[in-house]
Structure 1
Amino acid sequence: SNAFYHPIARTVQDIARQHNYDVIIASSDHRYDNEKHFCEAVIRRPVDGVIMVPTHLTDEDIDRFIAFTQTPVVALGQHIKHPEVDVVWSDDEKATWEAVTWLIKERGYAQVGFLGVPDEYPPGPRRWRGFTRAIEHAGLSVEPDFIFQGDFTLESGRRAAQQLLARRNWPPVLFAVNDLMAIGVILELQDAGYNVPDDIAVMGFDDIPEAFIIRPHLTTIAQTPVDIGQKLATALFDRIEGRVSGSKRELECPYALVPRQSA
């Protein structure tokens, strides 16, 4: 599981206890069938409010869910456009642009590789746009041989590193759209006898606890999961307890560049 979500869930639980509510947690593993199953389960067994991190649910799916349950919903992710759903989000496209620009201008890398995810995962297109904008802004070109794809898991980072190892030319630095994949890349390269960052540098996104455990420590973009959890839970209880009604609110969370040893 991705440790990025752990402090979010813990913060939501802490705030729920302050309101004398219990929290039921379900993991979708980024699968559409699991997300739909969760909605169906809540329709059968009503709850007072829902916080979701939907990857595949559409606004139409969420609209049907709200129509059936009449339950307030708060979501993490700026891709959710439903007019009745409060959204907590971070500008990860801008964060990616800033990170890649920093790698080029401040760290002096002449080219940057990219380890992304399929477009069906909502952060994927945003972070890809941030990457390509930064490359173009620097007067560079996107090298197809330096583009890899995973699925947010550590194992997919290892697979991407195996593909990298099979190629003759490497980028001097690889930007991964989350920390787990970046860590998978580092571990696979180290197992093959290579040094990070001497042979290739690696940067991630999220700043999960493992980013400071891996050697070298992972350079990354830190999100703020406690703040995200606070905003999600507070927005939901605003709705449940009647302090807020009407159309959606958008609640932005900060991010920060965290330079360490891997890049």
Structure 2
Amino acid sequence: MFCYTLGLFFTFFIPMGVSGVFGANTDEVKSLSVTEGDSVTLNTDVTEVQSFDQILWMFGHRETRIAEMYRQDFDMFDSNETFGDRLKMDSQTGSLTITDIRNEHSGLYKLNIISSRRANSYKKFSVTVYALPVPVIINNYSNSSSNSSSSASRCSVLCSVVNVSAVSLSWFKGNSVLSSISVSNLSISLSLPLEVEYQDKNTYSCVANDTFTTHTTHLDIQQLCQTDKDLYSPFDGVIPSLIYAVLGMKAVTLLTVFIMSNFNSE
């Protein structure tokens, strides 16, 4: 009788105790950051999914179902909308991989592991996607060497990208690299200066690239590198015109006064 009771104890209580295979239930949120175009995997921390386990993945604060695995069958609920064909599930662990991730895939992901033999378990992931911006080129007046004798013939420009991660920024002259800078940190800004001649006829471009994406901005020397005499003012030609108009009105007034005085004298 004792052995039978002990057997029941192990049958009904031990499986509940091994729910740690799935990880204890917690409100802790694991944060992940990824560059747009990369792939990210949300791990279940399960060694092997059993046939009686149901793996359920949900997205957003509304907890919309996006993927499910039960008895080795897969169901991608959102395959034709937000994620398209980007969702992949590992048949052994139930981990979810998002390929070619986009900015709209940023948000909260929730994992539910439902079992008829073990305690249910869940995990939360907060995913932030950083997009690679197009580099911007501006005239770098603050870096102009005004005291230099060559400053009158040279122009300083600055190429920048903001809020980037694992990105390289480079200046090209034609197909040749002039200078380059890279960063691996998250959410940082990069800037790279360049000096060119006003009359330079070469082709310059600033290129930002990460593992999957490349953005190029071409330098327009004529637009950004104008000399003082090339700068156009909306008031150009206005002052001389005003002077002529005032002189004309004054002449008309004097002529009118002269005519009136002669007429009255008669």
| Category of TM-score, reference length = shorter chain | under 0.3
- Taking structure 2 as the reference length, what is the TM-score of the superposition? 0.20
| Largest Rg, 1 or 2 | 2
More strand by share: 2
| Bigger relative CO (Cα 8 Å, ≥ 6 apart) | 1
More helix by share: 1
